[in-house]
Structure 1
């Protein structure tokens, strides 16, 4: 019987910081898992290296479900982003191994294709409305069928989602950037640029917008009602999800679809949102919600209530997570859309992925497993760089949700 012989944790910063787990079996088969938690990477690396890796050695890599339960229930301390990200890495790596042993891409092990490709959206942004419109045009020219739109609020320096370089990456290499925030100015301005996008480009593509947890429930309700004519594909994270009853209030005031879940880590975190049909899209992701095994459970629950998938897919997910997401997306019946921002060239030097983009859709690699390789030698050229996500402060100096 094949057993787990070695498990290695790699921390590198090729363009941004990633934590990668590589499991090797006694038969020489390797599997990769992503363990990146933006701004708290070393906490997960330590959890893996100091607590989980010793538990893996000698175990049967084929017993994925048993391993998931062992790591989740056996720790006593359950859930939370650090624990679930570490479990995700192990689970994803074991699915990669299982696919290689079977000689099949992972999506075939999940039941095969439910669709030909995975529709994705990317992030258009601008420092003002004209530059946002130019950026939307750029993504439409690239073939995207769905675009998220964000623009800097005039005279407010901390607007979420405005790209500075080729790829949006809010984490900074110093201590957290403290950014100002003015809710009232945002509520006045954001609907106007969403209207401007529709006025210029029409309704022949999907338009998305991320509020990024910044509104109270009644403010989010007012915003959702105001932008109904723009026919958003979704309004993302309108208010912090800790108070899930808040989404019932938003529902009472607007028909704008709601998407939530990128910071939630388990089926229990989204159970109420799904079963009460308080959201339209669940955004949990393979890297933070327990890996392929647990994410599939979440998506299956969502399917019962006509909630569709819309997994988080920013640059703080490595190409390993993106590949795993595409394998799940191509298989589940209630797929909605997949976030896709791409990665910088340095990332591509370390991770070799077979995922391809064409005609607004991603396509999984047909090689056995996930179809991703990790170049350890290349990673050595990009040593760890500590980075922090920003902190938002209201104009009176008090801390706000970022």
Structure 2
């Protein structure tokens, strides 16, 4: 077979869903043969674009497009310093695109090359939010009507603060009216304020209400989003045990993972962790020491399909399942990459799902089908999702600095978002 070499690498920025996305297109010397990948780091899209155009592109041109593993390994260390979110997202876009090319050459969907189908459909969970317990209950009931059997239950988004930042979820969420924060100083620094103590008192009451009204026939998830102190996370996990969560997400910040030993010793609440990890080795001690139950990995931030599959395989040996991050700030190509991993991974746990609007479906033909809480991929070769570049131009990215990450405590202290 004639060698398939990389002739060009393009970066496509678009925002059909209102959230800035970064897509990589790798072109080859074979007419019409190209691959697409997701490189979205929506808070720093132009930095990722520069990394691709100025560094990844000259590194890749002329290389064999089928040497996926070699390209990942050599590209990961080509800048010497490594495993940062900007370069990892750039590398992810390339890695997914190369898997897309490989699948097209083989005439197979990517999941077949990752080991083949392990399940008939991919179970999903939906984010269900509201300003109080009744509103959250109503949101969950609506999701259940659509067939979802797993839901993430939040009151006022993360920490109860709500959000008006459309670049986070492309929609506003109300502040929790049942969470009364402490009084702030008279001259407040600009930011998104929340009170972790008030939030911690409200969460068990939320789940008291939800289990009373909805019973145990639906699986509940809750995302702490690293918003509380480590000792408070331990107490919350203990307080929620009676509600039998499917998992408690990111109870501590990456900087405080040693506290997971204490949490594990005192609570049986299942834990998912890793949304903010950028180095695949950050997962290793948590998996091998049985400190987590689900790997909560943002696939593009660790570098794409190649490292994600390795993390999943390592986790399988330790009884840990997958729960890939699936927010609104990944492209439909990244969404499909998650699902290819889900279909081909024995130790799959659950997949987060953020609905795609009509503009996204129009710009990205071939998106997965969603039915009764399950996702279904097509059997198109490669990743299976394409992009209409002309339509993508109709939705320019805005860039800028996100507001939701400017989190502050009641006294004005900067906090993790």
> Do they superpose with TM above 0.5?
yes
Distance 2:286 2:383 in 1: 30
Residue 11 of structure 1 aligns to a residue whose secondary structure is strand
Unaligned runs of 5+ residues in structure 1 are none
Q: 2:236 aligns with which of 214, 219, 223?
A: 223
Partner of 1:57: 61
Unaligned runs of 5+ residues in structure 2 are 174-188
Give matches, 1:73-222, under 5 Å: 73-152=77-156, 159=160, 168-169=169-170, 178-222=191-235
Contact 1:125 1:150 in 2 (8 A): yes
Distance 1:151 1:249 in 2: 27
Partner of 1:399: 414
Q: 2:7 aligns with which of 5, 8, 12?
A: 5
Note the C-alpha offset of 1:348: 2.1
Note the C-alpha offset of 1:355: 1.1
Note the C-alpha offset of 1:380: 0.9
**Root-mean-square deviation over aligned CA pairs:** 2.0
Residue 135 of structure 2 aligns to a residue whose secondary structure is helix
Query: Hey, which of these two has a bigger chunk of strand by percent?
Result: 1
How many pairs does the alignment contain? 395
Partner of 1:67: 71
Residue 40 of structure 1 aligns to a residue whose secondary structure is helix
Q: Deviations over 1:103-140 (max 9, x none)?
A: 00000001101111111101000011111111010000
Contact 1:39 1:171 in 2 (8 A): no
Partner of 1:278: 291
Distance 2:172 2:282 in 1: 25
Asked if residue 32 in structure 1 is aligned to residue 36 in structure 2, the reply is: yes
Q: Deviations over 1:18-70 (max 9, x none)?
A: 01100111113111011111211111111001110111111110000010011
With 337-346 and 133-142 compared, the bigger mean Cα shift is at 337-346
Distance 1:17 1:360 in 2: 26
Note the C-alpha offset of 1:285: 2.6
With 23-32 and 349-358 compared, the bigger mean Cα shift is at 349-358
Give matches, 1:381-396, under 5 Å: 381-387=394-400, 388-390=402-404, 391-396=406-411
Residue 215 of structure 1 aligns to a residue whose secondary structure is coil
Contact 1:127 1:162 in 2 (8 A): no
Distance 2:403 2:380 in 1: 35
Contact 2:159 2:227 in 1 (8 A): no
Residue 287 of structure 1 aligns to a residue whose secondary structure is helix
Partner of 2:344: 331
Partner of 1:297: 310
Q: 2:325 aligns with which of 312, 334, 340?
A: 312
Contact 2:365 2:386 in 1 (8 A): yes
Note the C-alpha offset of 1:229: 1.1
Contact 1:126 1:162 in 2 (8 A): no
Distance 2:9 2:403 in 1: 29
Going from structure 1 to structure 2, the CA distance change for 1:231 and 1:163 (only over 3 Å counts) comes to farther
Distance 2:354 2:133 in 1: 21
Instruction: Normalising by structure 2, report the TM-score.
Output: 0.91
Note the C-alpha offset of 1:196: 1.1
Runs of at least 4 residues off by over 3 Å: 160-165, 167-172
Note the C-alpha offset of 1:265: 1.9
Asked if residue 359 in structure 1 is aligned to residue 383 in structure 2, the reply is: no
Partner of 1:22: 25
Residue 347 of structure 1 aligns to a residue whose secondary structure is helix
Note the C-alpha offset of 1:315: 0.3
